Amino acid sequence: MTSSMPSDIAGVYYAVASHDGKYGMVPDVGDIKKTAEASVTASTDTTGVIISRTYAMKVPTLMTIAGRVFAIVRTEALNTAAANTGDAFRVNLYVQRNGTLLGSTNGPEHVPNSTTAVAYEDILIVDVPSTDFSAGDDFEVKVEVEVTSVDATNPGIQVTLKCDPATAGNELIFYLQVT
């Protein structure tokens, strides 16, 4: 879709939808600022959060922010002991003001059932309520990889959060649609 907007925001936009029925328009992925770090891998045989990353932007002045935060999150997962349907994980997205939760969503559960890496891509969308920020406050987006269940007989799952902007297809992408 080509937009008919002022030249500073004109371009190619795509319709995206999350697993929980939220949707929106985001610019071409090539135009979205990406994180600057390497992908991270963790493994476990117990439930809980195994990867957590918080990205923060300083708010320059007193302002009220409301809207949506979109995240395009790519992961890979595999079973470390044996292929099974008992090991599962999901990606969670949180939006915070100075560590205080403003909104969140949990992605769908993924079950790799394989000892070789299985790739996943989630589009997560969080609605941000109208919130007052002071100069110097942090507008934070937090991504977590959470192991939600482990197999009783052969527990063990390894997950990689793709967040490497230098490798095509491994980017962790955020788009802020705020006013």
**pLDDT tens-digit series, residues 7-61:** 445 556 667 777 888 777 666 555 444 455 788 999 999 999 999 998 888 888 8
Higher confidence at residue 3 or residue 175?
175
Choose the weakest-confidence range: 114-118, 147-151, 174-178.
174-178
Say which residues have a Cβ less than 8 Å from residue 119's Cβ, sequence separation at least 6. 74, 75, 76
pLDDT for residue 94 is more than 60 = yes
Say which residues have a Cβ less than 8 Å from residue 122's Cβ, sequence separation at least 6. 18, 19, 71, 72, 73, 74, 75, 91, 107, 108
What does the pLDDT read at residue 20? 81
CB-based contact 101:133 (threshold 8 Å): no
Choose the weakest-confidence range: 26-40, 56-70, 77-91, 111-125.
26-40
Rounded to two decimals, the pTM is 0.84
Average pLDDT estimate for 116-128: 96
Higher confidence at residue 4 or residue 99?
99
What does the pLDDT read at residue 167? 81
SS3 state at 50: strand
How far apart CA 166 and CA 126 sit, in angstroms, is 26
Average pLDDT estimate for 113-132: 96
pLDDT for residue 109 is more than 90 = yes
Tell me the pairing of strands 88-97 and 100-106.
antiparallel
What does the pLDDT read at residue 5? 42
How far apart CA 129 and CA 132 sit, in angstroms, is 10
Of all residues in the chain, the percent with pLDDT exceeding 70 is 84
Tokens representing 149 are: 């269940």
CB-based contact 143:92 (threshold 8 Å): yes
SS3 state at 16: strand
Query: How many CB atoms are closer than 10 A to CB 16?
Result: 15
What does the pLDDT read at residue 139? 92
Average pLDDT estimate for 104-124: 97
What domains are there in the chain, each with its CATH number? 34-178 (2.60.120)
Tokens representing 148 are: 């939600």
Q: Which residue has the tokens 């595999």?
A: 78
Consecutive H or E run containing 68: strand 63-79
Neighbour order of strands in the sheet with 88-97: 48-58, 138-149, 88-97, 100-106
